[in-house]
Amino acid sequence: MRFRKLQIAWSVACGLACVLLIVLWVRSAQYDNVYPEHWRNPSIQFRSNKGTLEVTRWVSNSKTTMTPYVIIKVPYLVLTLITAAVAITPCVRWSKRFRLRTLLIATTLVAAVLGLAVYAARR
């Protein structure tokens, strides 16, 4: 392996990010956190509440009013699973040959993820 130390450093960094996301997830169950909270005119605001991370963009309609537009709302579970998968990926030995079974499994996983995304969007 040519980049073994780099792979280890990447896995440690992503593992640390995963642990920090779990801490934020647990904290969001009890507290409602808004960042930045005290700015006069924030253009983008992050909110952590009830297990979700919400990114909101504030647009001014006039000189006195601001209207919020939710850009994205993601559960911490999804973020934690993604960072855990990214942390594990360098440790997996990848084969250079694809088989039909591998292609069918990958297609099924992509279809399941897309189905969950559509279900979450309509909910």
Six token digits for residue 112: 């399941």
| Per-residue pLDDT at 108 | 92
| Per-residue pLDDT at 120 | 78
pLDDT (average), residues 66-76: 79
Number of domains in the chain: 1
pLDDT digits (tens, 9 = 90+) for 36-59: 655 555 677 888 888 888 888 777
Interacting residues of 58 by C-beta distance below 8 A, sequence separation 6+: 41, 42, 43, 44, 45, 66, 67, 68, 69
Kindly report the average pLDDT of the chain as a whole number: 80
- The residue whose two tokens read 């069918």 is 104
Domain that holds residue 11: 4-122
- Check if the beta carbon of residue 76 is closer than 8 Å to that of residue 84: no
